[in-house]
Structure 1
Amino acid sequence: MARGNPVHNESEDEQLPHRITVVGRGIPSSFELTVAGDIEMIAGNPVEEATIVSESTAEGAIEVGVQQFRFSERLANIHTVDWNGEEGAETESTPTVHVNYGISKR
């Protein structure tokens, strides 16, 4: 079931206790995050950030800055690709992705 509002809602902190942080490295890159549960973007504007958030997947592009997401259950997959299609493990140009479990408050 897709959430009506893909942006973080303070009242859902306990339902979405885990956090994913995507950090851009100054080079245009793409990412896709899939969880076994629900995912929402924290703050930010998904339209301005060119980020698509649906039921259990978030995907978008990042060059600089940070995008954060909260999710329930467990992480299923992270896929990153840099500007010329190189996979995350093969290049240092793709964004850094940090996963924290059990973050119940900001």
Structure 2
Amino acid sequence: MLTETNDVLPHLLTIVGRGVPSNYEITVDGELELVGADPLEEATVVTDHSAEGAVDIGVMWFRFSGQMANVHVVDWNGVAAPDSPSTPEVHINYGVSGR
């Protein structure tokens, strides 16, 4: 069953750390919300349409509406995907419930 948040923000973005400190920036053309974590605790800056932060291990989840406008991930040396195997994995799922 979809929750009210899932109805309004029907898409899910997952960022999976690979054990190396890495940075990410994401932008959507709709609304964006961090799920299941405190932005201050995770050192994540979240606005209505974008987020940026760091991840080394673990998973970050974001719900969003609209379409993805930009995803940029770099490893601790600033090397972007796909040139670095250490950059986080990014999964984008449209129209999913849960999380």
Give yes or no for contact 1:16–1:104 (8 Å, CA) kept in 2.
Answer: no
Q: Select 1:32's aligned residue among 21, 25, 28.
A: 25
1:85 to 71, 74, 78: 78
* CA distance in 2: counterparts of 1:42 and 1:103, whole angstroms: 14
Gaps of 5+ in 2: none
Describe the superposition over 1:24-74 as per-residue Cα deviations: whole angstroms up to 9, x where unpaired: 000000000100100000111111111111010011000000000000011
| Structure 1 unaligned regions, length at least 5 | 1-9
Q: Secondary structure at the match of 1:37?
A: coil
Residue 104 of structure 1 deviates from its aligned partner by: 3.3
Percent identity (aligned): 51
The correspondence of residues 44-83 of structure 1 with structure 2, limited to 5 A, is 44-83=37-76
Aligned residues: 97
Alignment of 1:43 onto 2:56 = no
What is the CA RMSD across the aligned residues, in angstroms? Answer: 1.0
TM-score (norm 1): 0.87
